[in-house]
Structure 1
Amino acid sequence: MAEENEWGLRPLGPSEVNRLRGLAAAVAADLARSGLVISGQQNQYRETSAGGLRVEVDEFDDAAGGIWLHWEVHPSLRKATSEALRGQRFDDPVIASAGSIHERMASTILCMLGALGYVAEPSDDDYRPFAIKVLSAST
């Protein structure tokens, strides 16, 4: 069993990490074949990502661990939303638009995953709003 890191998190074992990475690759490939653009996985800061679906593999042994799918809007909408929030313009229509897009894309991605034979659920993680957690491939 792996030791906890300085944040109290315990990494998954190598076989479980490999299983998650394989499942994440299969999900990404199936969704790409379905027409979704898969954004770069290594772009942590997302400034240069044109948008699309980001696949995250959380490799820790806790409730937040697993495969997460995030819809990324175009940088211009991300920037406008951030500027409205920083300016405390909480009634700015761009915030509502971005939220609506994320909500609808999460619903659409859930439907697509079901059609492709995956078991998934909407996020209940406050740090991952509008994300989808992939639980397994249907057997």
Structure 2
Amino acid sequence: MPQLGHRLRKLAAAVAAGLARSGLVVFSRKNQQQETAAGGLRVEVDEFDDAAGGIWLHWDVHPSLRKATIEALREQRLDDPVIAATGRIHEQMASTMLCLLGALGYVAEASDDDYRPFAIKVLSAAV
């Protein structure tokens, strides 16, 4: 398992660097407060050797949009346009990340994990 974790972290770092060079703002837990003011790409490394394990990419919208969406859901305003807009943004950014990863030579797929909606799973390194 330690070797799997090392391999995944190394691949995740390469993916993050490639996407950053493509123009996306990439943040980690270490620099989260500084760079997430406007949202951006979050890279998750799940080191478990199971179907949910691997490298996951998530798009985080601006905190003000995230807060408005959460408030609308909490207040059960399910027809609030902010909910639909946030969903469309996540869909478009997932599609964009897939395109960028393909251009960089990575193999990736859209998430089918209910706990990671709109996420992208990186399957293999650039060739």
- TM-score, normalisation: structure 2: 0.93
Q: What is the distance in 1 between the residues matched to 2:108 and 2:99? A: 9
- 1:65 is aligned to 2:66: no
The 1-side partners of 2:31 and 2:53 are apart by 20
Measured against aligned partners, the alpha-carbon deviations of 1:102-137 in whole angstroms (never above 9, x if no partner) come to 000000000000000000000000000000000011
Equivalent position of 1:120 in the other structure: 108
- Render the CA deviation track for 1:77-103: whole Å, top value 9, x for unaligned: 000000000000000000000000000
Q: Which residue of 2 aligns with 1:3?
A: none
- Give 2:4's aligned residue: 16
Tell me the percent identity: 78
Aligned to 2:92: 104
Amino acid at match of 2:43: V
Higher helix share: 2
Is 1:49 aligned with 2:28? no
Report runs of 4+ in structure 1 exceeding 3 Å deviation.
none
> Superposition RMSD on alpha carbons, in Å?
1.6
DSSP 3-state at the match of 1:121: strand
Kept in 2, the 8 Å contact 1:41–1:55? The answer is: no
Q: Distance in 1 between matches of 2:107 and 2:29?
A: 22
Mapped partners of 2:58, 2:9: distance in 1: 16
Provide the residue aligned with 1:9 in structure 2: none
In 2, the alpha carbon distance for the partners of 1:42 and 1:85 equals 29
Is there any run of 5+ residues in structure 1 with no aligned partner, and where? Answer: 1-12
* Counterpart residue type for residue 24 of structure 1: A
Count the aligned residue pairs. 125
